Amino acid sequence: MSNHHFDIIIVGAGASGLMAAVRASDQNLDVLILEHQPKAGIKILSTGNGRCNLTNSDLSSAHFRCEDPLFFRPALEAFSWQDTIRFFEEQLHLFCKEKNGYWYPRSNQATAVREALLAGCRENEVKIRRNEEIREIRKKDQRFHIRTDQDTYSAAVCILCCGGKAFPKSGSDGSGYRLAKAFGHSIVKPLPALMALYSDRSELFVLAGVRAWGKVSLFVNGTHVITDEGELQFTDYGISGIPVFQISRYAAIALHKKEQVLAVIDLIPEMTKEELEAYLTAGCMEQKTQAKEQLSGLLNGLLPKKVTEYLIGQAKGTLKDQIRQISSEIKEMPVPIVKTASFGQAQTTTGGVRVTEIDPDTMGSRLEEGLYFAGEMIDIDGACGGYNLQWAWSSGALAVDSAAAYIRERN
Ligand SMILES: Cc1cc2nc3c(=O)[nH]c(=O)nc-3n(C[C@H](O)[C@H](O)[C@H](O)COP(=O)(O)OP(=O)(O)OC[C@H]3O[C@@H](n4cnc5c(N)ncnc54)[C@H](O)[C@@H]3O)c2cc1C
């Protein structure tokens, strides 16, 4: 074993680590990335359904969730969504295109984003050591000394970019938290976020496969927490789709605290319950066919057939009773939530390194000089829509710029 010396060692070759590496080597710093997977940037390939939604033109605070609502602003201001586009287009020659504020590579291929970052690393002679497990990181004589299962390294700065626990097959298996803990950092319980929710209301499972526009509201112990609107998906275990993903981190946190979690679906947000009841009642009176057929015909004009069949099958009593029950189910369909999908299906992590222990202006540890953090391993999570990657780019850029300034000051 020999000891290799660097200015900066980055742990983790994911979105934030690769961004930090390209930017560090631009500043003539000698950089090493240590990655425990055989390949770098693997998660990027799965982002945006293989298209990689790499940022969003609306970076307002409402799209980021964090214990300190001001924590993420300095990084997002230091490296904005415009900086992301400039970085990829001007520096890495990867052209981007926008649709309704969502940005993708022009080629529509996530692989192009990974390739561009790796090309940036190659061009700047960033060293990437893959397939190495870190055994220990310790600080001695103002330098970080890293021992892996294969070699030893040292650097003035160490940036931890290990991701969270979501999608562990891409390498983010939570092992980075152990490295942060060794320096005294505390970890807010990591839980999955941006994923489907499981219900025990099994009669709804007949709707599996249905996709319908609607609103989903989350209630915890009877109190409304959040509502989102978009294309909902019914599954044979519960509910899914982007609006469900958006509310899912609140469900995960509440379930972890053993609180009661209820999702309520509104399948026709553009009508009130009274308007819907009046419409169905008037429509049934106009028609000359049998009551159930009349109702079914009207509902088929509003909702997917499978939903109509389910609603008609459930309704009991007089026509008036049935219209009331059906309207209630359409507007306030209760879906008790008993479980979330696992980290294996989640797109991000809520929880991670506690933000009060990190300086938001530098991404530097408040506990250990020269130690920095970036990306999903910090306790901050973004909504669906390019926010998690933007956080990875912004925090990676800020961490490395601060680290470069720290190295210059020391020399
Ligand atoms: C299916 C899916 C789709 C997504 N789609 C989008 C999208 O379209 N837009 C968006 O904004 N976000 C999306 N995300 C979220 C986004 O990909 C992540 O938030 C982002 O990649 C986090 O970047 P990161 O650098 O913090 O961590 P990661 O990209 O997870 O990288 C962490 C790296 O560190 C390595 N590592 C971990 N521990 C160690 C260790 N102990 N030693 C050495 N190496 C280690 C890992 O192997 C990995 O390479 C998606 C996520 C998933 C799972």
How far is the C-alpha of 138 from the C-alpha of 140, rounded, in Å? 7
**Closest-lying ligand 1 atom to the alpha carbon of residue 388:** 11
Of 317, 341, 365, the position where a domain reaches its end is 341
Helix (H) or strand (E) holding 78: helix 73-78
Q: Which domain holds residue 296?
A: 196-341
Of 293, 313, 341, the position where a domain reaches its end is 341
Q: Which of 33, 42, 43 to mutate to test the pocket of ligand 1 (most atoms within 8 A of CB)?
A: 43
Q: Are residues 187 and 125 in the same domain?
A: yes
**In 3D, which of 197, 242, 193, 235 has the Cα closest to residue 215?**
242
Instruction: Give the model confidence (pLDDT) of 219-271 as tens digits.
Output: 999 999 999 999 999 999 999 999 999 999 999 999 999 999 999 999 999 99
Instruction: Give the model confidence (pLDDT) of 322-339 as tens digits.
Output: 999 999 999 999 999 999
Helix (H) or strand (E) holding 131: none
Separation of CA 17 and ligand 1 centre (Å): 10
Ligand 1 pocket residue status of 174, Cβ below 6 Å:
no
Q: Which pLDDT value is given to residue 411?
A: 82
Name the β-bridge partners of 5: 154
Q: Which of 76, 187, 381, 388 to mutate to test the pocket of ligand 1 (most atoms within 8 A of CB)?
A: 388
Separation of CA 256 and ligand 1 centre (Å): 23
How far is the C-alpha of 225 from the C-alpha of 251, rounded, in Å? 9
Q: Are residues 33 and 161 in the same domain?
A: yes
Q: CB of 207 within 8 A of CB of 199?
A: no
CATH number of domain containing 55 = 3.50.50.60
**Closest-lying ligand 1 atom to the alpha carbon of residue 55:** 11
Q: Which pLDDT value is given to residue 294?
A: 85
Q: Which two tokens stand for residue 308?
A: 């109509």
Instruction: Give the model confidence (pLDDT) of 47-95 as tens digits.
Output: 999 999 999 999 999 999 999 999 999 999 999 999 999 999 999 999 9
Q: Are residues 306 and 172 in the same domain?
A: no
**In 3D, which of 236, 229, 226 has the Cα closest to residue 261?**
226
Distances from the Cα of 31 to the Cα of 6, 127, 154, 188, 409, angstroms: 6, 6, 11, 30, 18
Q: Are residues 305 and 376 in the same domain?
A: no
Amino acid at 380: I
Confidence of residue 287 (pLDDT cuts 50, 70, 90): low
Amino acid at 68: D
How far is the C-alpha of 158 from the C-alpha of 400, rounded, in Å? 10
Query: Between β-strands 127-129 and 102-105, what pairing exists: parallel, antiparallel or unpaired?
Result: unpaired
Confidence of residue 289 (pLDDT cuts 50, 70, 90): low
Helix, strand, or coil here: 376? helix
How far is the C-alpha of 370 from the C-alpha of 209, rounded, in Å? 51
Q: Which of 23, 32, 44, 47 to mutate to test the pocket of ligand 1 (most atoms within 8 A of CB)?
A: 47
Q: Which pLDDT value is given to residue 288?
A: 55
Q: Are residues 135 and 54 in the same domain?
A: yes
Mean pLDDT of the chain: 96
What is residue 44's DSSP assignment?
A: G
Distances from the Cα of 368 to the Cα of 31, 106, 374, angstroms: 20, 41, 15
Q: Are residues 214 and 163 in the same domain?
A: no
How far is the C-alpha of 82 from the C-alpha of 87, rounded, in Å? 8
Ligand 1 pocket residue status of 192, Cβ below 6 Å:
no
Instruction: Give the model confidence (pLDDT) of 308-317 as tens digits.
Output: 999 999 999 9
Helix (H) or strand (E) holding 84: helix 81-86
Of 299, 315, 341, the position where a domain reaches its end is 341
Q: Which two tokens stand for residue 142?
A: 């103002």
